[in-house]
Amino acid sequence: MTVLAAVAVVALSSCKKDKKETAPAAAEVTTSGILADLAVNVNAATYVKLASTSAELYTQTVALSSTPSAFNLQMCQQLWRSARESWEQSEGFLYGPVATDLIDPRIDTWPVDFNALEGELASTNEFTQTYLNGLDDALKGFHPIEYLLFGQNGNKTFDQFTAREKEYLVALAFNLRTLTADLAEEWNISNSTSFMASFRAPGTSNPYYETKRAVYEEIVNAMAGICDEVANGKIGEPFLANDATLEESPYSSNSMTDFTNNMKSVQNVYKGKFTADGTGIEDLVKKHNLSLHNTITAKITAAISSLNNITDPFGTAITSQPVQVTAAMAAINDLRTTLEDELLPFVQQYVVD
Amino acid sequence: MYTLKYYICFALTLSLIGCKKPGKLEEMQEKDWYAGGTQTVFSSGSGAFGAAFNGLSGTEMFVHGVGDLAFESTFVSAPAPKNSGLGPIFNSVSCVSCHIGDGRGKAPEPGEPMISLLFRLSVPGQDAHGGPLDVPGYGGQLQQRAVFGSQAEGNVNISYAYATYTFPDGTTYQMRTPSYTLTNLYAALPGGVMISPRVAPPVFGLGLLEAIPDANILAREDVNDANGDGISGKANWVWNVLAHQKTLGKFGWKAGNPTVMQQTASAYLQDMGITTFLFPKESSYDQPQYDNLLDDVELSDSLLYAVSFYMKTLAVPARRNVQNADVQKGKQLFESAKCSACHTPGQRTGVNVAFKQVSNQLIFPYTDLLLHDMGPELSDNRPDFAADGAEWRTPPLWGIGLTEIVNGHSNFLHDGRARTLTEAIMWHGGEGTVSREAFRNMSAADRAALLKFLKSL
């Protein structure tokens, strides 16, 4: 019955909507303008930042390798966190080349395969990029780098690095730099054959998206998708199993920051803003349904502050702060429900071509 | 990961129809949208193959979610606190690394790493159950990777021979024929080894396919082509480990597995080296790579069940552009070219009170789930139970038009040789020859309409 009622309401309003559209638009908010802005200001900008911080991380690992020092290690750790911030802020749009070119699994697989990692370190295999490309995903990307930089218990010191660890670290950082640069290139606006070009110009001959509505659905589904993953995967799995070994970024104790950046990713997509600000989905929502806009904004804020309420490191918080963890899962799932059940139908109603 | 509930999305499509009063013909066309019956999801984005069924209970949704996470879990070498037991020899580290986005794998270009294509092996003869006979020292599949300190069985080099052809109307198209060379083999291969390349197929809608009654599938069987239409669908009868007898094969490129769960357990074992209660013996057993660890079974029964349930409860994406004139014309051409003789559009699932979401549904998978001779060019010359070297199971076509957005490519067929739908059609031989020739002789506009129809699936 509820579904039928929803159908009826949407049906009525969609029949009326045609009239509305013939009236002159008050604001300069257009569905194609939002797409164009979003692709540049959020997707591309986030990936550019990810690529540039990854490149800096590589440079710094070279410095750490040649001149081990507390400062150089700290710089590497800080840059790892910065690159990680951009990556987590990109997880609200995990569609396109990041998925189809298998970049996500190659840079963000966990858990780390310790046996294999220790084996590689104990071997004499040369860590060329060809060799690295042939390694399993669990031996590449952010988390093996994290393990090498922070150590099993997060207390690694610069004088503990073996020669093999330094070689492996530098090679891993180089690999991360290459893959994130490839990703940024796929969202380069001046590259006419990039995924970006298809994303911004849906049409019948577009291999990916026939309509703007399909792109909007993609965007909203990805926003809801990361909420699902954070609430029910990244937080829910270790919490429900009461098992800290399921934590994603344990060595750096960066998990809470990761989760918060995932929520900021949703916020960035909604606002259409990473650093530069243009039009965003929020402008379309504000134009047609201010109440929905207020709901979404409030729920994003609630999700972020619910994560801030977890004050212990995540691996500890799953046992020490169950109330706060449960509340965070609930707040993020609540946001997800709004995105799925209200924002998705909204874009389907207002993005008509 | 997209475990979303999409039923609200129905609203949009219905709203378009809602403005008009549907006549009888339109009502029939309306059914066409619902490729998966009530388990249809109105999604055409990169998550289109990953949506959960409608109407799952809280418990069912939880199990689906557990299966979803397990599908994405990366296995690591033993011993490890989590996801232990990879290998010692394997092809991949997780389900999702081949079935990206719950979708279709891709054959590598020459020099690219082998990610979602694997090679089955056997020697002439049959095993105790009538299935393919393992290669001594290699088993039934070439594991191209190994955990640290262990040796992979070997590698495969792929090369392609390209040839250009011309349609009668002057349009040209290119085809590529793959050839494979086994390299870096860890032990000598006995003579007469048969090799079958297999690309990872999409994994949505499997619960609905499993729910098609055997009788409905067998009713279309026509082994000796008694009706003289040139099409001789044949059932594969394969070993069912749990039933301990042969039952109808439904899954895999040659219908070599009877159930979603057995297909899943077999992939865990052969592709990842993960043992389950269905297959408790390591793929490397009796080989020097065997780890001698007493850690089997490595995947709990409940997780195997959850992963199978996850795939069984992945909804089918709705068709797009059903009312487009070209698409409708293409659909007629699909019928008149007899494509639908094997790619049977509609199927009716059986009544199942224990699994109501798949019960009594009219679905449009575009397959008869039977084996057909596809001619010598596509033949792998490797029998698999009742399937001979030239026979392949009709693959479902539902969702085929979304391959590009979900997987970023449009490569098809068991070995991924076809790079477009046109090439895939032009590779059809054997029982598919008549349809291929019909397509070849169509006008460019008709061919385009047929392709547009396929892309609407």
Strand ranges, E, within B249-337: 316-317
Give how many domains chain A has, as a whole number. 2
Tell me how close the Cα of B397 comes to any Cα of chain A, in angstroms.
18
Residue A6 pLDDT > 70: no
- Same-domain pairing of A152 and A222: no
Asked, for residue A123, whether it belongs to a domain, the answer is: yes
pLDDT-derived band of residue A111, with 50, 70 and 90 as boundaries? confident
Residue A2 pLDDT > 90: no
- Same-domain pairing of A57 and A165: yes
- Which pLDDT score, from 0 to 100, does residue A245 have? 83
User: Measured on CA atoms in the order A198, A202, A208, A209, is the torsion positive or negative?
Assistant: positive
Tell me how close the Cα of A285 comes to any Cα of chain B, in angstroms.
17
What value, to the nearest 5°, has the Cα angle with vertex B74 and ends B210 and A55? 130
Q: Do B18 and A209 touch (CB under 8 A)?
A: no
* Chain A partners within 8 Å of B147 (Cβ): 115-116
Give the pLDDT confidence of B152-202 residue by residue, as tens digits: 999 999 999 999 999 999 999 999 999 999 999 999 999 899 999 999 999
- Same-domain pairing of A297 and A319: yes
- CA closest to B65 among chain A residues: A232
Q: Do A6 and B1 touch (CB under 8 A)?
A: no
Averaged pLDDT for residues B356-367? 96
B284 vs B301: CA distance, rounded Å: 21
Stretch among B81-90, B250-259, B326-335 having the lowest mean pLDDT? B81-90
Asked, for residue A264, whether it belongs to a domain, the answer is: yes
* Chain A partners within 8 Å of B324 (Cβ): none
DSSP A140: S
Give the pLDDT confidence of B255-305 residue by residue, as tens digits: 999 999 999 999 999 999 999 999 999 999 999 999 988 888 999 999 999
Q: Do B101 and A99 touch (CB under 8 A)?
A: yes
Residue A15 pLDDT > 70: no
B145 near A CB under 8 A: yes
Asked, for residue A19, whether it belongs to a domain, the answer is: no
* Chain B partners within 8 Å of A246 (Cβ): 82
Q: Do B148 and A115 touch (CB under 8 A)?
A: yes
- Same-domain pairing of A164 and A284: no
Q: Do A221 and B4 touch (CB under 8 A)?
A: yes
Asked, for residue A317, whether it belongs to a domain, the answer is: yes
Asked, for residue A104, whether it belongs to a domain, the answer is: yes
- Which pLDDT score, from 0 to 100, does residue A62 have? 98
Q: Do B77 and A112 touch (CB under 8 A)?
A: no
A/B interface, count of CB pairs below 8 Å: 156
* Burial letters A104-142, b for 16+ CB under 10 A, else e: bbbbbbbbbbbbbbebbbeeebebeeeebeebbbbbbbb
* Chain A partners within 8 Å of B86 (Cβ): 113
- Same-domain pairing of A48 and A167: yes
Q: Do B11 and A345 touch (CB under 8 A)?
A: yes
Give the pLDDT confidence of B301-355 residue by residue, as tens digits: 999 999 999 999 999 999 999 999 999 999 999 999 999 999 999 999 999 999 9
* Chain A partners within 8 Å of B104 (Cβ): none
- Same-domain pairing of A249 and A159: no
> Least CB-CB distance to A102: which of B69, B115, B410?
B115
* Chain B partners within 8 Å of A138 (Cβ): 74, 76, 93
- Residue B346 contacts by C-beta under 8 Å, 6 or more apart in sequence? B362, B363, B364
* Residue finishing a domain among A132, A166, A189: A189
A72 vs B413: CA distance, rounded Å: 52
Quickly list DSSP for B11-48. Answer: HHHHHHHHTS---HHHHHHHHHH-TTGGGEE---STTT
B139 vs B155: CA distance, rounded Å: 15
> Least CB-CB distance to A214: which of B16, B44, B93?
B44
- Which pLDDT score, from 0 to 100, does residue A103 have? 94
- Which pLDDT score, from 0 to 100, does residue B11 have? 40
8 Å CB contact between A140 and A106: yes
Asked, for residue A327, whether it belongs to a domain, the answer is: yes
B83 near A CB under 8 A: yes
Residue B23 pLDDT > 80: no
Residue A341 pLDDT > 90: yes
The domain that holds A245 is classified in CATH as 1.20.1420.20
* Chain B partners within 8 Å of A229 (Cβ): 1
* Chain A partners within 8 Å of B1 (Cβ): 225, 228-229, 233
B223 vs B244: CA distance, rounded Å: 25
Q: Do A208 and B407 touch (CB under 8 A)?
A: no
- Same-domain pairing of A289 and A171: no
> Least CB-CB distance to B405: which of A123, A136, A208?
A208
* Residue finishing a domain among A189, A222, A244: A189
pLDDT-derived band of residue A24, with 50, 70 and 90 as boundaries? very low
Residue B364 pLDDT > 60: yes
A263 vs B324: CA distance, rounded Å: 40
* Chain B partners within 8 Å of A106 (Cβ): none
Nearest to B35 by CA among B411, B367, B324, B408: B367
- Which pLDDT score, from 0 to 100, does residue B287 have? 94
- Which pLDDT score, from 0 to 100, does residue A25 have? 43
Interface test with chain A among B6, B7, B8, by most A beta carbons within 10 Å: B8
B414 vs B425: CA distance, rounded Å: 13
Asked, for residue A195, whether it belongs to a domain, the answer is: no
| Between A136 and B17, residue with greater pLDDT | A136
B433 near A CB under 8 A: no
* Residue finishing a domain among A189, A214, A246: A189
* Chain A partners within 8 Å of B76 (Cβ): 111-116, 138
- Same-domain pairing of A98 and A132: yes
Tell me how close the Cα of B19 comes to any Cα of chain A, in angstroms.
6
- Same-domain pairing of A85 and A218: no
Q: Do B96 and A105 touch (CB under 8 A)?
A: yes
B266 vs B278: CA distance, rounded Å: 8
- Which pLDDT score, from 0 to 100, does residue A275 have? 93
Q: Do B1 and A225 touch (CB under 8 A)?
A: yes
Q: Do B82 and A345 touch (CB under 8 A)?
A: no
* Chain A partners within 8 Å of B101 (Cβ): 99-100
Tell me how close the Cα of A211 comes to any Cα of chain B, in angstroms.
10
Interface test with chain B among A221, A335, A346, by most B beta carbons within 10 Å: A221
Tell me how close the Cα of B182 comes to any Cα of chain A, in angstroms.
17
B240 vs B431: CA distance, rounded Å: 28
B30 near A CB under 8 A: no
8 Å CB contact between A72 and A173: no
- Same-domain pairing of A150 and A211: no
Neighbouring-strand partners of residue B126: B132
- Same-domain pairing of A84 and A175: yes
pLDDT-derived band of residue B30, with 50, 70 and 90 as boundaries? low
Q: Which two tokens stand for residue A21?
A: 């559209």
Residue B425 pLDDT > 90: yes
* B residues 155-184 lying closer than 8 A (beta carbon) to A: none
Q: Do B45 and A232 touch (CB under 8 A)?
A: no
- Same-domain pairing of A180 and A79: yes
Residue A3 pLDDT > 80: no
> Least CB-CB distance to B2: which of A100, A225, A243?
A225
Residue B3 pLDDT > 70: no
Q: Do B45 and A214 touch (CB under 8 A)?
A: yes
Residue B204 pLDDT > 70: yes
B292 vs B275: CA distance, rounded Å: 13
pLDDT-derived band of residue B25, with 50, 70 and 90 as boundaries? very low
- Which pLDDT score, from 0 to 100, does residue B12 have? 42
> Least CB-CB distance to B149: which of A3, A119, A243?
A119
Nearest to B202 by CA among B374, B361, B371, B400: B400
- Expressed as residue numbers, the domain containing A107 is 42-189
Averaged pLDDT for residues A250-261? 94
Give the pLDDT confidence of A85-95 residue by residue, as tens digits: 999 999 999 99
B226 near A CB under 8 A: no
Give the pLDDT confidence of A303-319 residue by residue, as tens digits: 999 999 999 999 999 99
Quickly list DSSP for A17-29. Answer: HHHHHHSPPSSS-
B10 near A CB under 8 A: yes
Averaged pLDDT for residues A247-270? 95
Asked, for residue A299, whether it belongs to a domain, the answer is: yes
Tell me how close the Cα of B312 comes to any Cα of chain A, in angstroms.
20
Q: Do A116 and B45 touch (CB under 8 A)?
A: no
Q: Do B14 and A11 touch (CB under 8 A)?
A: yes
Q: Do A95 and B45 touch (CB under 8 A)?
A: yes
8 Å CB contact between B440 and B171: no
> Least CB-CB distance to A233: which of B1, B74, B86?
B1
Give the pLDDT confidence of A113-147 residue by residue, as tens digits: 888 899 999 999 999 999 999 888 889 999 999 99
Give the pLDDT confidence of A265-305 residue by residue, as tens digits: 999 999 999 999 999 999 999 999 999 999 999 999 999 99
pLDDT mean across residues, chain B: 92
